[in-house]
Chains A and B, each alone.
Chain A
């Protein structure tokens, strides 16, 4: 935190020191480690879907549902390193795995996806099984299978073939086994001694490839990246840079950027977001989808296409709309005729308060009650999501005798009700932190609809954020834009997203130091930030492996064995 920021914090704490929000949290518990941490991360839903799509193509469909992901330190990407697979969850993975595998080996897909043909369709065929399983296994496990693993998979396919009398059925079951194996479901990183630094360790090349690929594409490494890992290119800084450049030049970077912002902005909350359709008949599942897509399009255009300043996301008057969103926001936009669900680029006119992603339904709608807006929830979300601050929980055993009655004619607006609430000293501390921020968004109802009055009384959207005063939501956007916590937050989140953990002590020094400074001096270009992380040593450093882990001889990889030609996809 900067000195200025700290002063603001101190000023905020004032009379309610014990309840003050905690600034910039999220340093890893493994403080003191000189090196980074390795992680074992469960694939997220999107990653699983992307991998299946990449390997088997879009005609193989996914059925079933996923375990809920866990949010930790503000990100699902960090929570992924905390969770395992529950019994109910594995049941679902098992169903999905068998459904996918059945499609891969069916008559429609097998010529393309299996590639080889068995000598007999009713008997085991080692050569074809081996060719298929080693090819698919490498893509699923993100490294070549060890000889031992490949032998076991082929044996499993053979046993299943014998039991069911069908080669393809046996092969499919073996594939299903790989699709529910921990080697696939978890991204387990491996370390090796760093030859350039005696006594230090680094991620091995395949783990490095995975970390890089999931970071930039939210997907498993493609064959080219795996090849760069296999031939050692990734271990040189020029080889690494070449791959980073390639990945960043690819249109697939958009998927990675969408994944990062979807995680940071907590868009997973949309999957269970409900609104009262009696009060808000315009709210449909299409609004849910459009709201997320609007913000994603705004972000992608702003950061990847325009390569503009990250901070301007909170002030820009440029966005994208569908007719449905335009009707909710009550703005005039023209759409092409005869196109279903058209998206058009749109600039908010100067005389409306909308500007920046804070005014989009994806923010004000996501952080609201089902039937009404909530200045407190929105204020808390702005603090925690966009500024990486922690707002304490409300105290227990509070007497709410003075809280407001929504039918009371004296308390027509949220501001009036919350001011009554703040007469409680124990509540006031935190509500002072959240409410003046959230009240600035009161011009938007619970689904993001624009309004100027509530219960007939005019809405006052003035407020204050860490000392910056404003009169409306556009002013709030400007205050976020100018708040150093906003840029410190995005830098930290980006690193956490890639590394899978909150930075430890040595990582924090680099993240808050060099990385943050370079981001600022380069004009807050998001792609520069991604590149700086992806090409840095810090990102791939590893702590010493568990005792004994490297004493065992390195498992022989199937691709190293003479005569075992991998089939290229």
Chain B
């Protein structure tokens, strides 16, 4: 067998410009799936994917944890929606965020301490979030290094950041996300015909001219501006990579199908809109992963200072969390809990969407690792204790699932370290100061 790697693909294609269709004449031998559809013909398994799923305002303590540690037989009532997937998720209780004397910035400290490993000193995040650390390892060869979405209609509701102060803006419209992924520039990996576009090659040469100025530009910059310029060029690299991929016949992926273009539900923080748009996002992102368009996704169900609301009500989830009394019979805040049930239902929708895509004997969820986190252990008092953490998926067999792990006061960064190791980031310690840890959750690592 020969592989295409030994051939300069651009040299092959260069003679074919002008519209000649190439009808699968190219040897993709190393890209074909095995008969089970779970591995590439080379024997390498389908690649592992990672995602974060963020929700705001936590859960009610004592109402989400499975009653016992170890194998999950039952969830607490607030996670009951995950029951169909109880063998495919893990629940981590008892972790906390440690302030180390820094200010408690409500609805900010908790989210970013979990996602970056460092308790922020001020209302600014300047270090990369865990998804970006992972994307730099597993996401460098896909069309999109990562995809961010927010179901609240606000692009700033993104919990993914690169180094520096730039947030990765979230896509808020499912229809726009569809166009970005499955629009005209999408190359169906299973299409029989492949026609390289001369326009794409022309764009490559233009972007080379942009890149060529890098050294001249960097000369006069100080260190922080240089880092910002580097980030620009790293973003440019993604565009160049997209063009490279557009000129190559993609490897077939059995599970890849192009979804139908969705119609946006009204964008905004009203709960029914959020649920609807989130469900559309879950479907699109699952297809994007199955089609090899990205390996890292970041989903925001609702923002940390939750703006979720119900039509006709003057109160938001956040306002309820502070102003609603605990029902003496129920023992919790009923309206807050109603939002919580919608949120955990959303998580079940996300897990379900990943699990609905069949790949060989299993599903896309088997090679996925989704990490769900929030900003507080108990919104009513802005607690940073007992942070609810959940993962879904087996990371291609590197995670065991179906367990409730009880951490007994350890820093929540244990999960960030665990997921990084599970997807192949070569580190053995993560976080800073009291959030630094070298302890993974070995109970769930295969």
- Show the binding face of A for B, using Cβ within 8 Å: 40, 65, 67-68, 70, 72, 79, 82-91, 94, 146, 148-149, 152-153, 155-157, 159-160, 163-165, 169-170, 173-174, 176-177, 180-183, 185-186, 188, 190-191, 272, 274, 276-279, 369-372, 392-401, 403-406, 417, 446, 545-546, 548-549, 552, 555
Bound-state CA distance A152–B326 (Å) is 68
On whether the beta carbons of A545 and B220 are closer than 8 Å, the reply is yes
The residues of B that contact A546 with a CB separation of less than 8 Å are 219-222
On whether the beta carbons of B206 and A160 are closer than 8 Å, the reply is yes
The residues of A that contact B322 with a CB separation of less than 8 Å are 400, 403
Provide the B147-188 mask, 1 if CB < 8 A to any CB of A, else 0: 110000111100000101111110100000000100000000
Question: How many whole Å from A558's CB to the nearest CB in chain B?
Answer: 14
The residues of B that contact A82 with a CB separation of less than 8 Å are 164-165, 228
Contact A40-B225, Cβ < 8 Å, known A84-B164, A90-B236: yes
Residue in contact with B207 in the complex, picked from A177, A272, A399, A403, CB distance below 8 Å: A177
Residue in contact with B381 in the complex, picked from A152, A188, A397, CB distance below 8 Å: A397
Contact A190-B220, Cβ < 8 Å, known A83-B166, A396-B104, A406-B323: yes
Closest to B110 in A: A396
On whether the beta carbons of A400 and B380 are closer than 8 Å, the reply is yes
Given A87-B168, A152-B213, 17 further pairs, Cβ under 8 A: A67-B169, A86-B166, A86-B231, A87-B144, A91-B180, A94-B239, A164-B202, A174-B206, A177-B209, A370-B316, A372-B315, A393-B106, A396-B106, A397-B104, A397-B383, A403-B323, A548-B219
Bound-state CA distance A177–B213 (Å) is 12
On whether the beta carbons of B205 and A160 are closer than 8 Å, the reply is yes
Asked if B325 is at the interface of the complex by the 8 Å CB criterion, the answer is yes
On whether the beta carbons of A177 and B219 are closer than 8 Å, the reply is no
On whether the beta carbons of B205 and A156 are closer than 8 Å, the reply is yes
Bound-state CA distance A154–B239 (Å) is 21
The residues of A that contact B232 with a CB separation of less than 8 Å are 84-85, 90, 182, 185-186
Interface residues of B in 379-413 (CB under 8 A from A): 380-384
A-B contact pairs, 18 of them (CB 8 A): A72-B124, A83-B164, A84-B229, A84-B235, A85-B166, A85-B231, A85-B235, A86-B235, A90-B232, A165-B198, A177-B210, A369-B315, A370-B316, A395-B104, A396-B106, A400-B323, A545-B220, A546-B220
Closest to B105 in A: A393
Residue in contact with A177 in the complex, picked from B171, B206, B323, CB distance below 8 Å: B206
The residues of A that contact B384 with a CB separation of less than 8 Å are 396-397
On whether the beta carbons of B162 and A86 are closer than 8 Å, the reply is yes
Closest to B311 in A: A278
On whether the beta carbons of A83 and B217 are closer than 8 Å, the reply is no
Asked if B16 is at the interface of the complex by the 8 Å CB criterion, the answer is no
The residues of B that contact A398 with a CB separation of less than 8 Å are 381-382
On whether the beta carbons of B145 and A87 are closer than 8 Å, the reply is yes
On whether the beta carbons of A88 and B169 are closer than 8 Å, the reply is yes
On whether the beta carbons of B217 and A182 are closer than 8 Å, the reply is yes
Interface residues of B in 108-124 (CB under 8 A from A): 108-109, 123-124
Closest 10 CB pairs of A and B: A371-B314, A396-B104, A160-B202, A156-B209, A278-B312, A84-B231, A84-B228, A177-B206, A90-B235, A372-B314
Closest to A152 in B: B209
Residue in contact with A173 in the complex, picked from B99, B202, B236, CB distance below 8 Å: B202
Provide the B223-250 mask, 1 if CB < 8 A to any CB of A, else 0: 0010111011011101100000000000
On whether the beta carbons of A371 and B316 are closer than 8 Å, the reply is yes
Contact A397-B382, Cβ < 8 Å, known A67-B169, A84-B232, A369-B316: yes
Bound-state CA distance A182–B235 (Å) is 11
The residues of A that contact B325 with a CB separation of less than 8 Å are 403, 405
Closest to B18 in A: A165
Residue in contact with A371 in the complex, picked from B222, B238, B309, CB distance below 8 Å: B309
Closest to A170 in B: B202
On whether the beta carbons of B222 and A153 are closer than 8 Å, the reply is no
Contact A155-B316, Cβ < 8 Å, known A173-B203, A370-B269, A405-B324: no
Question: How many whole Å from A442's CB to the nearest CB in chain B?
Answer: 14
On whether the beta carbons of A40 and B228 are closer than 8 Å, the reply is yes
- Show the binding face of B for A, using Cβ within 8 Å: 17, 99, 103-106, 108-109, 123-124, 144-148, 153-156, 162, 164-169, 171, 180, 198-199, 201-203, 205-210, 212-213, 216-217, 219-222, 225, 227-229, 231-232, 234-236, 238-239, 268-270, 307, 309, 311-316, 319, 322-326, 380-384
On whether the beta carbons of A174 and B229 are closer than 8 Å, the reply is no
On whether the beta carbons of A276 and B311 are closer than 8 Å, the reply is yes
The residues of B that contact A183 with a CB separation of less than 8 Å are 213, 217
Residue in contact with B205 in the complex, picked from A163, A272, A274, CB distance below 8 Å: A163
Bound-state CA distance A398–B378 (Å) is 11
Bound-state CA distance A546–B222 (Å) is 6
On whether the beta carbons of B220 and A152 are closer than 8 Å, the reply is no
Question: How many whole Å from A541's CB to the nearest CB in chain B?
Answer: 16
The residues of A that contact B221 with a CB separation of less than 8 Å are 40, 188, 546
Bound-state CA distance A182–B321 (Å) is 44
Bound-state CA distance A141–B326 (Å) is 60
Bound-state CA distance A159–B207 (Å) is 11
Bound-state CA distance A65–B315 (Å) is 31
The residues of A that contact B165 with a CB separation of less than 8 Å are 70, 72, 79, 82-83
Scoring B104, B124, B162, B325 by chain A CB atoms within 10 A of each residue's CB, the highest score goes to B325
Bound-state CA distance A94–B236 (Å) is 9
Bound-state CA distance A155–B269 (Å) is 49
On whether the beta carbons of A163 and B169 are closer than 8 Å, the reply is no
Bound-state CA distance A274–B154 (Å) is 10
Bound-state CA distance A183–B236 (Å) is 14
Bound-state CA distance A569–B155 (Å) is 38
Contact A173-B166, Cβ < 8 Å, known A88-B148, A370-B269, A400-B381: no
The residues of A that contact B309 with a CB separation of less than 8 Å are 276, 370-371
Bound-state CA distance A437–B328 (Å) is 35
Bound-state CA distance A276–B166 (Å) is 31
Contact A396-B382, Cβ < 8 Å, known A79-B165, A183-B213, A555-B216: yes
Closest to A370 in B: B309
Bound-state CA distance A548–B166 (Å) is 29
On whether the beta carbons of A182 and B229 are closer than 8 Å, the reply is yes
Residue in contact with A155 in the complex, picked from B153, B199, B209, B210, CB distance below 8 Å: B209
Contact A90-B313, Cβ < 8 Å, known A397-B381, A405-B325, A546-B222: no
On whether the beta carbons of B168 and A86 are closer than 8 Å, the reply is yes
The residues of B that contact A405 with a CB separation of less than 8 Å are 323-325
On whether the beta carbons of B314 and A276 are closer than 8 Å, the reply is yes
On whether the beta carbons of A68 and B169 are closer than 8 Å, the reply is yes
Contact A549-B220, Cβ < 8 Å, known A85-B232, A86-B162, A181-B210: yes
Bound-state CA distance A83–B161 (Å) is 11
Residue in contact with B155 in the complex, picked from A68, A369, A371, A403, CB distance below 8 Å: A68
Scoring A169, A190, A398 by chain B CB atoms within 10 A of each residue's CB, the highest score goes to A398
The residues of A that contact B228 with a CB separation of less than 8 Å are 40, 82-84, 186
The residues of A that contact B315 with a CB separation of less than 8 Å are 369, 371-372, 406
Bound-state CA distance A546–B103 (Å) is 35
Bound-state CA distance A85–B231 (Å) is 7
Question: How many whole Å from B291's CB to the nearest CB in chain A?
Answer: 17
Bound-state CA distance A94–B203 (Å) is 10
Bound-state CA distance A494–B123 (Å) is 23
The residues of A that contact B269 with a CB separation of less than 8 Å are 274, 370
Residue in contact with B234 in the complex, picked from A87, A146, A181, A276, CB distance below 8 Å: A87
